[in-house]
Structure 1
C-alpha cells in the first residue's frame, strides 16, 4: 500500500485512513462469521439438524457472497469514493439482517402447511427450505460479498499492489472471521443469548458502516497515485517504492487464474468437510469442538494469506510460486490421514483426562498438529492468485470481486461433492487422498500451460510427488477403534455420519462416529422399558411417535401393544440402514410391521410439521452435550410436543443421568414443567452407576389410570401371573411427582435463545461437575419422597396403601443397589429386607448382576 504524497499532513492522513479501513475490515469479518454461525444454528432449528439442511444454508450463503463479489466488483471502479460505498454496504447488511426475525416468524406459521405439501418428497422439501434460506440469507450475503472488493478498490492505488495489498485484506478479513467464530461459540450465546448475539453483530455492522462514512466525510479519499499527480522535485530524483516494485510480465494465462480460483475453492471446502468428519471420530462433538476445527481452519487460512502477502512482496514469478503452493498443498494434505492416525493413537478419544479448559486446549493442540501446516498452504493459494492478475489496466475491485466469486462458487460445489458424494462412494481416507491428488494435478497443469524456464524439470518434479499417493496404503488406518473382542459387522460412511454395527460377547450395538453408542442387545430390558412404561400408563394408546430410532429395540417394544400407528423420526439414515439389517429380530420385527412408518428426518422438525395428534410421544436418550441435541430439551421444543399430543396424551422424555449433572437434570425438569402442568418421574432400570429416568408429562392434571394400568401390565405378563405382581413390577419404577414436590421451582429454564444444556453439558462431560448417579441420586429420591410421600401424591390417588407400598419398595431397592455397589453390604441388606417385605412375589437378587431389576410384567415373554 504505497502512498506518494507531497505533504507530510497528507501522508499522515493517508496512513490514518489505511489503518482505520483495515480495522473496519477486520470487524466486518468478525460480524460476518457471527452471522454465519447463528444462521446455521437458527435455520438448523427450523429445517432440522440434517446434512441436507446445513448444506442448503451454506450453499445459499456462499451463493450470495459469490454474486455480491462479482456484481459489486464490476461496479467498484465507477465510484469515486469506494470507502463510502463500503460503509453503505455494511449498513445494508445490518438492515437486511433484521429481516431475519420477521421471516423466521413467518416460516414458523407456514411450516405445517409447507410440510403437508412437501411431506416425504425430499426434493420438494429441500426446495421450500432453500427458498426460505434464500429469502433470509441471500440479501445480506450479497451485500457482504461487495465489502472486500470495495475495500480493495479503496486501498489499492497501484496495479502492482494488487497481490500484496489484496492478500493483506483477505488475511485481515479472514482473521476477523476466525475471531467471530470463537466469540459465537465460546462467549456470546451464554453471555447474551442468541438474539443478543445476533443484535450485537447487527450493531457491529452499523458501527462499521457509520465509521466508514464518517472517515470519508472527514478525511476524504486516499491521495491518487503518484503517476496521476504533478511531479515534485523529490519524485524527479528518486524512484518511488511502487516504481521499484513494477510488475513483471509472467505470461500467466488469464483464463487459468479463474479456473485455479474456482478449483482452489472446490478443493479447500471439500477438505474442510472431510476434516470435520475426520475429527468427529475422536472429539466430544459439542458446539465447542466443532468450533475449534472451524476456528483453526479459518486461522490457518488467515496465516496462509499472510504468507501469500510476503510472497507477493518479493515479486517472485507467480507461475512458479502458484505451482509450488499447489504441489506442497497436495503433499501436505496427503499426510493428514496418517498424522491424524498417529496423533490420536489410532482414533482414540481425544483428551481423556482433565477439565473442560484443558480439554479444549488439548483439542486445539492435537488438531493444530494435524491440520495447521496443510491449511496454511491451502490458504496461501487463493490470495496469491491476485499477484497473477497484476497488469497495467487492472481494476482492483473488479479483480478481487471476480476472484472471490469464482472461488466461492467452487467452494459451494466442493462442500456438496465431498459431503454427499465422496464420503458415501469411496470413504474418508481415499477422499482426502483424492483431494491431495487434485492439487498435484493442478500443479503440473499450471506448469505445462506456461513458458516457464526449465518447465520440464518443474513438471517432472511435481509429477513425481504423485508417486507417494500411489503407494500410500490407507487400508492400514483404522476406520473405527474397537474394544478387545469386538468385531465390525458393517460400517457405513454417509453424508450424515460414519456408523457401524459391531458385536462383542454375543451382543450387538450401533456406533456413530466411532464412540457414540446408540445402545444394543446387551440391555434389552432397559431399552424396551423406554417404550413399555409410557405405553403402560396410558389408558388406550393408538398412535405412538418416537423421536429417535437407535437400534429399533425400544420402538419394537411398542409393537407388543395394540397400537394402530407407530411413527419414528431418526436423524441419521445410516443408523436406519444398520438397524434394519442387523437388529430386526431384537426389535421384534419392527421393520416388517405394517403399522410402522420411519422417516430419515430431524425429530423436532418432523414433529413440528406433522398435523397428526399422538397418544404417546417418546423422546430417546439424546446425549445432552452433543451439538444439535440441546434443542430437544428447550421450552420451544416441548411446546411443539404438547401441541401434538392428543387428549389424555403422554410425553416421555428419557434422560441419561450418567451424562447429566444434578443441576442440568433439574434445569430440564423445570423446563418441561414450565410447559406441562403435570410431570412425574419414572426409572427405566435399577442401575446405580448408569441409570436412566423418564420425565413423563401430561397436558393436564391427571391420576395414574389404575384400571388400565392393571389391564396393560397383565396383558404383558405370562398367563397365570399374579395381577398384584405385575402391578408391583411396574410401580417399583415410579419415583415421584416432580411438579407437585416443589423441589424444582427456582432456577433457569432451557430455551432456544438461552441454550443452557447445549453449552453447559459439554463442560460437565469434561469433569467439571459430577454425574447425577449413585448416592447423590439416591438422596434426591429420598428428598422427593419426603417432600411428597406416595400417600400424598395426587398422581397416585387411585392406589391403596399396599399398592403405594410398591413405590416405596422401589426406592428401597435402589438404595440397596447403590449401597451394594459402594461396598456397604451390611447397610444394603436393611433396604433389601424392606423391599422384600413389600413385594408380592418371591425375588432373589443376583450379587453378580449390575441391574437385578424385578420386572415381573414381562415374565415369560
Structure 2
C-alpha cells in the first residue's frame, strides 16, 4: 500500500513537471519571436540581421546548457530550474527598454560600416549582450529539468526524452499563440511581458515543488558516463552537433521551399515553424517509446538512413504535387490557414520527425542516472552550436552557392553520416543495403532536381536568368507577346516591369517630384526594376538620387534591364545602398527634398513595419523643411480597414496629407499618400516649363501626366484622421496581420469592393489645399466636382 502511494505521488509529480516544462517551452518561443521582431527594428529586417539574432540566441542557449549541466551537481535541480525561469523572466522585462535605448542614429551608424564582417560582428556583440543573461538561464532549464525528471524515473534518459517532447510541444503552442493572438492583440514587446509573467509563475511553482518533494540529490561529483554498446562519447557529440546543424538548416530550407507556394505572411511562416516543432516533439516521444524495445545505436542508424530517404522522397512529392503553383485553397481565412497547415504537415512531418529522433537518441547512448542532466546539458550545448552553424550555413553558403535543391541534397548527405558513425558490428548486410538505398535515393533526386527549377513559371513569360539567396529566387523574365521585361521574387511576386508598366512606374517618381518646387535630392525606398528611379533621372534639377534596396540580387537583376530602365544604375547622380529602408532612415544623416516609398506587399512578413507611424516619423525627420514624402499603396492588395489605418497613421505624422492617383484602374488601383509638414505651393508657370522640358527628353513623356490639368486630374483629396486610436505601430503591426485576412476573405479593394470604397470614401474627401499664385491649384468647388465626375467615368464608365 505504501509503495502504491509513493508510485501515485511520483506519477503526479512527473505530470506536474511535464506541465511546467510544456509551459516553459511556450514562453521561450514567445520570448524568441518577440525579441526577434524588436531586434529587427534596431538591426534591420534583413537576412544578415536575422542571422545575428539567431546566432546570439543559440550562443546564449549553448552557454546555458553548459551552465545547467554543472548546476545539476549541486542537487535540488527543480530549485535551480525555478530560479533560472525567474531570472529569464526578470531580464525579459528589461529587453524592450534596452532596444529602445539603442535605437539612436549614433548606434545605427556605428553598425552600418560597408564591411559585411563589421556589420555582422557589431550586431552580434549587441545581440549577445542583450540576450545573454536570459538565454543562459533558459538554456540551463533543459539539463536541470532533465535531471529532475530522471530522479523519479526507472529509465532516466527515457524520462528526459519524454520531458523534452513536452517542452518542444510547448514551443509549438507558443509559436501559434504568439503568431495568431499575442503579437497583434497584446503587442510585440508586451508579448514578452506576458511570457515573463507566466515564466515567473513557473519558477515559483518549481521552487515550491522542490521544497514539498524531498527528491534524492545526485552524486555531487556528477557520476561517470556509461556508454552503451560500442558508440563512443566523441561519436555521440559529433552526431549531436550534426543533428543541430541539419535540423536548423532544414528549417531554413523548408521555409524557403514553402515561400515558393505560399503568400509569405507571418501566419504561413508561423505554420511552418509550428509544424517543425511538432515534428521534433513527436521524434523525442517516439525515441522514449523505442528505447524500451531496441538499442539506441540502432535507432540512430535507422534515423540517419530513413531521414535522408524521406527528405528526398517528400521533397520530390512536394514538387510534383504542388508544381510550385500559388496556394489559394480555402473559401475563408480560417480554412485557408488550416489547409496550409495540413499541406506543411503532410510534407514535413515524416522527415523532420525522423531527424528529431536523432538528438534525444544520443542521450540514451550516453546514460547515467546520477549524471543525466550533465550528459544532456553537454550534448545540448554541442547541438546548439551545430544549430547556429546550420542556420548560418544554409542562409549564407548553401542558398547563394548551391541553391535550394542543393541545400536539401547537402542535408541528406549529412544525414547519411549518422549511420556511418554508429555502424553496427552485427547485421552487416542489411546495414549495407540500407545505406546503399539511401545513397541511391540521393543520386536519383540529384538527377531530377534540374527539371524542378522550370516549374511554377508564368506561361506567358520567357525565363532569362535566376539568382538564389536567402531571400529566395530572383528571376528576370520577358513577355512572350511584347518586349516587356520583369523581375520576379519566388515565382509569384512581380517586382515591376518594363513595357506597358514602365510609364506607371516612372509616374511614381514624377508625380511627387512635380509637387515639389525644386527637388534636388531624392530618396527611393525600394529598387524594383529601377524604372521608378529612372523617372527621377529625367528631372534635370535633381542633383542626387539615393536608392535603398533590401536584396542585392534585385539590384543585380535591375542592371540586366539597363536599356529598359535608362541605365539608371550607371548614372553619376545615382547611389544604391543595400539595406532595410527603415534601418537606412534611422541611420542616415542626409536630408532629402522628396522621399518615394515603393509599392510593398502589405501581407508579407515584417513588411508592415514600412507602414508604421514610427517609420513615417523617421522619414519626416529626413526631409528638408519643404520636403515631401510619398507612400505608394497597392490598394488592390489591402482591404478598406487596412487602407484607412495606413492613411490615418500617415496623417498623424504629416499635417498635410493628400491622396493622388498612380494608376486609375478599378481592378488594380494604385494611390499615393503625399505628406508634408507645410501646405504645398505650386508655381504653375514653372510647372508648365518643367513639363515641357520633360517632353523633350527621351522616355520623359507621360501622356497621363503631360499637362498641369493632368496633375489636377490625379488629385483625389485631403485625408483627415478617422480613428487615431487604431493606428499601425511598431508595437501593434496590425496591417501585417490584417491584410492576409482581407486577402483570403475576398475583401481586397478591387472590383466591387473598390467601387463601394470609391463612392463612400474617396468621393467625399475634401479637395486638397494646394495653392498656386494665391489661388487654389485645383480650382473652385464646381471644378473639383467636374474633375471627380471625369474620374468616375474613367474608372467605372459612369
TM-score band w.r.t. shorter chain: over 0.9
52-61 or 118-127: bigger deviation: 118-127
C-alpha displacement of 1:136: 1.5
**In structure 2, what is the Cα distance between the partners aligned to 1:141 and 1:795?**
60
- Say which of 428, 446, 469 aligns to 2:422: 446
**In structure 1, what is the Cα distance between the partners aligned to 2:299 and 2:245?**
20
- Say which of 559, 583, 588 aligns to 1:580: 559
Structure 1 match to 2:86: 91
**In structure 2, what is the Cα distance between the partners aligned to 1:292 and 1:275?**
11
- Say which of 703, 711, 714 aligns to 2:692: 714
Query: Structure 1 pair 786/254, CA: closer, same or farther in 2 (3 Å)?
Result: closer
- Say which of 110, 115, 118 aligns to 1:121: 115
Contact 1:735 1:807 (8 Å CA) reproduced: no
C-alpha displacement of 1:120: 2.4
Give yes or no for the alignment of 1:511 onto 2:488.
yes
Contact 1:14 1:222 (8 Å CA) reproduced: no
Structure 1 match to 2:434: 461
Contact 1:336 1:371 (8 Å CA) reproduced: yes
Query: Structure 1 pair 795/419, CA: closer, same or farther in 2 (3 Å)?
Result: farther
Q: How many residues are aligned here? A: 784
**In structure 1, what is the Cα distance between the partners aligned to 2:575 and 2:214?**
65
Give yes or no for the alignment of 1:265 onto 2:244.
yes
Structure 2 match to 1:56: 52
Structure 1 match to 2:223: none
777-786 or 518-527: bigger deviation: 777-786
1:300-326 per-residue CA deviation (whole Å, 9 max, x = no partner) reads 110111111101122x12222210111
1:107-141 per-residue CA deviation (whole Å, 9 max, x = no partner) reads 113x4354157432322222221122112112111
Structure 2 match to 1:313: 292
Give yes or no for the alignment of 1:163 onto 2:157.
yes
Contact 1:658 1:691 (8 Å CA) reproduced: yes
C-alpha displacement of 1:609: 0.4
1:251-301 per-residue CA deviation (whole Å, 9 max, x = no partner) reads 222210010000111111111111111000000100000000000000011
Structure 2 unaligned segments of length 5 or more: list them. Answer: 221-225
For 1:412-427, list aligned pairs within 5 A: 412-427=388-403
467-476 or 660-669: bigger deviation: 467-476
- Say which of 264, 281, 295 aligns to 2:274: 295
- Say which of 533, 547, 555 aligns to 1:568: 547
C-alpha displacement of 1:442: 2.5
Structure (1 or 2) with the larger CA radius of gyration: 1
- Say which of 173, 180, 186 aligns to 2:180: 186
C-alpha displacement of 1:42: 1.3
Structure 1 match to 2:510: 532
CA RMSD of aligned residues (A): 2.6
Structure 1 match to 2:719: 738
Secondary structure of 1:103's partner?
helix
Structure 1 match to 2:574: 596
1:93-113 per-residue CA deviation (whole Å, 9 max, x = no partner) reads 01111221231122113x435
C-alpha displacement of 1:649: 0.4
**In structure 2, what is the Cα distance between the partners aligned to 1:387 and 1:309?**
9
Query: Structure 1 pair 466/712, CA: closer, same or farther in 2 (3 Å)?
Result: same
**In structure 1, what is the Cα distance between the partners aligned to 2:439 and 2:590?**
57
Query: Structure 1 pair 211/724, CA: closer, same or farther in 2 (3 Å)?
Result: closer
Secondary structure of 2:416's partner?
helix
Contact 2:599 2:633 (8 Å CA) reproduced: yes
Structure 1 match to 2:133: 139
C-alpha displacement of 1:454: 2.5
Contact 2:150 2:157 (8 Å CA) reproduced: no
Secondary structure of 2:565's partner?
coil
Structure 1 match to 2:205: 211
**In structure 1, what is the Cα distance between the partners aligned to 2:693 and 2:557?**
31
- Say which of 474, 482, 494 aligns to 2:469: 494
C-alpha displacement of 1:415: 1.1
For 1:351-390, list aligned pairs within 5 A: 351-390=328-367
Structure 1 match to 2:597: 619
Contact 2:597 2:631 (8 Å CA) reproduced: yes
Using the size of structure 2 for normalisation, the TM-score is 0.93
Structure 1 match to 2:730: 752
**In structure 2, what is the Cα distance between the partners aligned to 1:723 and 1:140?**
58
1:653-676 per-residue CA deviation (whole Å, 9 max, x = no partner) reads 000111111121111110011111
C-alpha displacement of 1:10: 3.9
**In structure 2, what is the Cα distance between the partners aligned to 1:6 and 1:61?**
46
Secondary structure of 1:466's partner?
helix
Structure 2 match to 1:348: 325
- Say which of 734, 737, 742 aligns to 1:764: 742
373-382 or 463-472: bigger deviation: 463-472
Secondary structure of 1:262's partner?
helix
Secondary structure of 2:732's partner?
coil
C-alpha displacement of 1:222: 2.5
1:449-471 per-residue CA deviation (whole Å, 9 max, x = no partner) reads x5x21235423432332122223
C-alpha displacement of 1:419: 1.2
Using the size of structure 1 for normalisation, the TM-score is 0.87
Contact 2:526 2:549 (8 Å CA) reproduced: yes
Query: Structure 1 pair 334/101, CA: closer, same or farther in 2 (3 Å)?
Result: same
Structure 2 match to 1:37: 33
**In structure 2, what is the Cα distance between the partners aligned to 1:703 and 1:546?**
23
Secondary structure of 2:101's partner?
helix
Contact 1:163 1:385 (8 Å CA) reproduced: no
Structure 1 match to 2:13: 17
For 1:838-857, list aligned pairs within 5 A: none
Contact 1:349 1:515 (8 Å CA) reproduced: yes
Structure 1 unaligned segments of length 5 or more: list them. Answer: 229-246, 821-827, 829-861
C-alpha displacement of 1:14: 2.9
Structure 2 match to 1:799: 776
Give yes or no for the alignment of 1:544 onto 2:527.
no
Contact 2:265 2:604 (8 Å CA) reproduced: yes
195-204 or 648-657: bigger deviation: 195-204
Contact 1:63 1:408 (8 Å CA) reproduced: yes
Secondary structure of 1:156's partner?
helix
**In structure 2, what is the Cα distance between the partners aligned to 1:724 and 1:347?**
40
Contact 2:637 2:748 (8 Å CA) reproduced: no
**In structure 2, what is the Cα distance between the partners aligned to 1:613 and 1:318?**
64
Contact 1:732 1:807 (8 Å CA) reproduced: no
Contact 1:569 1:600 (8 Å CA) reproduced: yes
1:389-415 per-residue CA deviation (whole Å, 9 max, x = no partner) reads 1257x5111001001111111111111
Contact 1:778 1:814 (8 Å CA) reproduced: no
C-alpha displacement of 1:708: 4.2
For 1:679-690, list aligned pairs within 5 A: 679-690=657-668
115-124 or 481-490: bigger deviation: 115-124
**In structure 2, what is the Cα distance between the partners aligned to 1:796 and 1:382?**
76
Secondary structure of 2:357's partner?
helix
Secondary structure of 2:263's partner?
coil
C-alpha displacement of 1:38: 1.0
Query: Structure 1 pair 116/536, CA: closer, same or farther in 2 (3 Å)?
Result: farther
